[in-house]
Amino acid sequence: MSLKEKISKEIIAAMKAKDKLRLDVLRYLKKLFIENDTSKKPIDEQDIVISHAKKIEDSLSMFPEGSDQYLRVEKEIAILKEYLPSPLNESEVREMIEKIIAGMDNANMGSIMKLISPQIKGRFNGKRATEIVKELLS
């Protein structure tokens, strides 16, 4: 079952449960999937969820902590996390980077990031991965 099909089924479940916030989040994701299907360069469904979750997390800083909007955005993030790939911890990423470096003759920042980025996309912060690579190369 594709992610889009799963979300469509969960929209129905959210309607039956009268869970308005969950319904809103899932409907918006479905809208993004439909827009992607009709675009000239469609991307993977998982990438859509990752991108949307990142935007929602970034918007959290716009609201005062503890406000109604802040709490709503936190709940939206929790719902979106159900559809994201499992996160990686820093030691796992460090280990992956070390293996990549060990397998290269002339390791440099660009070539390492090119290999590690697809593996950690949506699962670990890319900026932090860059810092780890710099640290291991020095």
Measure CA 81 to chain center.
Answer: 8
For residue 34, what pLDDT is reported?
A: 94
| pTM score | 0.75
For residue 137, what pLDDT is reported?
A: 85
C-beta of residue 59 within 8 angstroms of C-beta of residue 51: no
Quote the CATH superfamily of domain 3-81: Uncharacterised protein YqeY/AIM41, N-terminal domain (1.10.1510.10)
Residue spans of the chain under pLDDT 50:
none
CB-based contacts of 56: which residues, under 8 Å, 6+ apart?
73, 76, 77, 80
* Domain parsing of the chain, residue ranges: 3-81, 90-137
